[in-house]
Structure 1
Amino acid sequence: MYCLNLDPIAEEQIKAVPEGALRPLAELFTLLETAPWSGQPFNPANPRGNMLTHAFGERGLATYLVLEEQREVHVLRVEWP
């Protein structure tokens, strides 16, 4: 199990996510606690990097950092266009 941490900017961005997307976002956070490597590389040129993105809901995207040795996931940004 990984510990999930939210960056202050991500916390502010979550407030702007529509109500209908909050459940998919919560489901994503649950997934990140158990399988954080399920996302896509943030930088396709570095597919083994520890910064990843994961889609949620219809249009959402979370960007996060996996610190494997610490068993932590740091959610850096939550975007909803």
Structure 2
Amino acid sequence: MYRITLDALAEEQIAAIPVEALRPLAELLTLLEVAPWSGQPYNPANPKANMLTHAFGERGLATYVVLDERREVYLVRVEWP
């Protein structure tokens, strides 16, 4: 299992998202604990990089870094337009 760590900006963004986005976000975080490489490359030109994005809910997008050596997922940004 991977540990989820939130960047300060991601924490602020999570605090500001609407209630209907919280459950899909929680489901995504649960998925990332066991399958962090399930997202899409942040930079399609570098598909093997450890920075990924993953959609959640109807409009959400999370950006994160997989740190395999530490068994950690560092959540950088959470967007809900």
Q: TM-score, normalised on structure 2?
A: 0.98
Task: Flag structure 2 segments of 5+ consecutive residues without an equivalent.
Answer: none
The structure 1 segments of at least 4 consecutive aligned residues displaced by more than 2 Å after TM superposition are none
Count of residues paired in the alignment? 81
Give the aligned residue type for 1:41: P
- 1:35 matched to 2:41? The reply is no
Structure with higher helix content: 2
State the 1:16 CA deviation: 1.4
Residue 20 (structure 1) aligns with = 20
Identity across matched positions, percent: 75
Residue 64 (structure 1) aligns with = 64
| SS of equivalent residue, structure 1 residue 15 | helix
RMSD: 0.4
Task: Flag structure 1 segments of 5+ consecutive residues without an equivalent.
Answer: none
State the 1:15 CA deviation: 1.1
Give the aligned residue type for 1:58: E
